[in-house]
Amino acid sequence: METVHLKINNIPVEVPKGYTILQAANKANIKIPTLCYLKDINCIGACRVCMVEAKNRRGLLAACVYPAEEGMEVLTNTPAVIKSRKTTLELLLSTHHKKCLSCVRNNNCELQRLAAEYGVDEDRFTSSEPVYEIDEQSPYIVRDNNKCVQCMRCVAACKNVQGISVIGAIKRGFSVHVGSAFDKSLNDSPCVGCGQCVVSCPVGALTEKSQEDKVWDAISDPEKQVVFYTAPSIKATLGESFDFPIGTNVEGKMAAAIRRLGEGVKVFNMDFTADLTILEEANELIERIQNGGKLPMFTSCCPGWVKFVEHYYPEFIPNLSSCKSPQGMFGAVLKSYYCEKNNIDPKNLFVVSVIPCTAKKFEATRPELRSNKEYDDVDVALTTRELARMIKRAGINLANLDDEDYDAPFNKATGGGAIFGSTGGVLEAALRTAARTLDGDFKKVDFDEVRGPEEVREVTYEVAGVKINVAVTSGLGNARKLLEKIKKGEADYQMVEIMACPGGCINGGGQPLQSDTVRNNVDYKALRAKAIYDYDLNCEYRCSDESPVIKMVYDEYFEAPGKEKAHKYLHTTYVQRDKYYK
């Protein structure tokens, strides 16, 4: 490998040819501030916060795009550099609506952090701030261009990672802003709601549509019984909002905290319905294989992926598993089986799911998922960030809580349910149960081949004399490539797992926000995924069909996977959506 040698602040560093000054500085453990740069997503040198000096070079250089050169001597903190960065920040603040105290990103805003570090005067440049109407028409994302710094990280995430491009720069000059085609609401675009734009935004210009107040109102309503249930990945991510190291499992503390949000609040484990999904999904896969059903069968747990198919590849709708997602199944179970068993009117049961995903907010409103036409099965879907804010507002110190279990009867689940939170986890859990169903003596539990960060994992397994070809990918840009391959007849699979967010739910659009410093230098997705797989290894039961809670609900209510009652409550349908409308 050809390398180049240079000095950064007099520190010698050797890097591969083609590295930028920013990459070289990172290798030398020298921090250069950035705002528009986001590793593997956006590198356009637009914000000019990363400017540096180089001896024998005229002017300042943008470190994120300028290549490191042999013999170069870079200086990152000269008076000229500091002045440039400070002026840039002051100019950004001159058109930024500085509502920091009430902003959801207060104390977690990259512009705010840089302004504090450089001691900028926010009033140095006066300007008639542009006023944009806040777009809050969608059920999942709020866009406030009054806070946008035009870093284009959201645009890059939507285009370069997800391959959708429903947002972009509109107009020119001082009037330029980020928006959807023809300046329409995000709700009137073919947005899939994945929220990768939200987790890429460095400020408060993009946020999830908060439903916290609706939950507080229900908790204080004496006629409502409030129940929460938490998605598999939340245990591995919630702690980050309370300064726990990335990848810390806080499941027990989380259950304790939710229970303390209000009198009578119950908290259940969504890993249970992940297990339930596997029983139904494995049964459906076997039926399709044995009876000539539509193959490959696509997983249907990710609502962003499902909406992507409905908008962009409606010809593949029949390939989607008819199984509801774990969120959808749990809502149906609670407002049928649980209410009947406890003599509760379903209208008085307020169901709150805690999810890693903004698209789940949309899913909760889908009429196709209702088991009763009069009400939604899930009343509110809260992101991990919203739950963290509720815990903080209640004055609960998560770190000081002792671990507590979930409430019965939905307190136990398997490792198969837990690994739903990472890319490959749904398929692996399905393989564990499908293999045991086809071959009672099948011993393999860890299907490591479907795990990992590769764009597409393709594996062939042989079970009971049947060959099963499977594929896994995450990120909708990768999904598009895989679907095109299937359309062209270049691949033959029986089952395909796709998650909208790169890395799966552990990197969902509703997860805790990490700074650009962390995102650019730490493999946070791997750390979060490790917490989930470590949890799986320590579970008493690792295959979904082994769960005693699953056996209970089938014995008492659903009879068996695929039966009439199970199909009524646990399965759904999909709709074709025009590419240009919601």
Catalytic residues: 281, 284, 301, 321, 360, 363, 368, 505
User: Which of 316, 326, 293 shows the shortest CA–CA distance to 570?
Assistant: 326
- Tell me: cis bond preceding 326? Omega within 30 of 0 counts: no
What is the b/e burial string over 304-324, where b = at least 16 CB atoms within 10 angstroms of the residue's CB? bbbbbbbbbbeebbebbbbbb
User: Which of 230, 480, 481, 251 shows the shortest CA–CA distance to 360?
Assistant: 230
Q: How many CB atoms lie within 10 A of CB 471?
A: 22
Maximum pairwise Cα distance, the chain: 80
CA distance 569 to 372: 9
Encoded tokens for 437: 């169903």
CA distance 378 to 167: 29
What is the b/e burial string over 204-242, where b = at least 16 CB atoms within 10 angstroms of the residue's CB? bbbbbbbbbeebbebbeeeebbbbbbbbbbbbbbbbbbb
Q: How many CB atoms lie within 10 A of CB 345?
A: 10
Sign of torsion over alpha carbons 470, 476, 478, 479: positive
Asked if residues 402 and 252 have their Cβ atoms less than 8 Å apart, the reply is: yes
Strand partners of residue 13 = 6
Q: Is 503 helix (H, G, I), strand (E, B) or coil?
A: coil
